[in-house]
Amino acid sequence: MTVSAGTKPFAWPIRVYYQHTDAGGMVFHANYLSFMECARTELLQSLGFDLGELARRDRVLFVVHSAQIAYHKPALLNESLTVTAQVKRVGRARLEFDQAVMRGERGAGERRAEPGVRQREELQARRGA
């Protein structure tokens, strides 16, 4: 199983529930990171990588090394969102992702709707002690 950069973005749908929102009914800012974590995990799973098995069997863990995020327009309670994840760069021990949280219909990788959040994140693999 290999991961390569530049492939079509992986799309993961999610609905905004009460648990995701603040008192004003908008998605709490930290939950966007959680949404993106789920999308990255689902992307890797779809490529045949079981993160739980990698941790147990091979003692390989992925930790967030750095993240840049820009918030544009808040997502609201009960909205349907699409979270995308795309591998941008593959290194010996790092994966860099480009991600977005979007509103609107889930298209075939198209980004018609205004992005709610964009994130570029770099993960570094570490072996457990």
What tokens appear for 2 in the block? Answer: 């290999």
Rounded distance between C-alpha atoms, residue 45 and residue 54, angstroms:
11
Contact at 8 Å (CB) between 92 and 115? no
Let me know if 22 is a catalytic residue.
yes
Question: Nearest CA to 3 among 36, 39, 45?
Answer: 45
Catalytic residue among 22, 50, 58, 98: 22
Cβ contacts of 79 within 8 Å, gap of 6 or more? 15, 16, 103
Mind telling me the catalytic residues?
A: 22
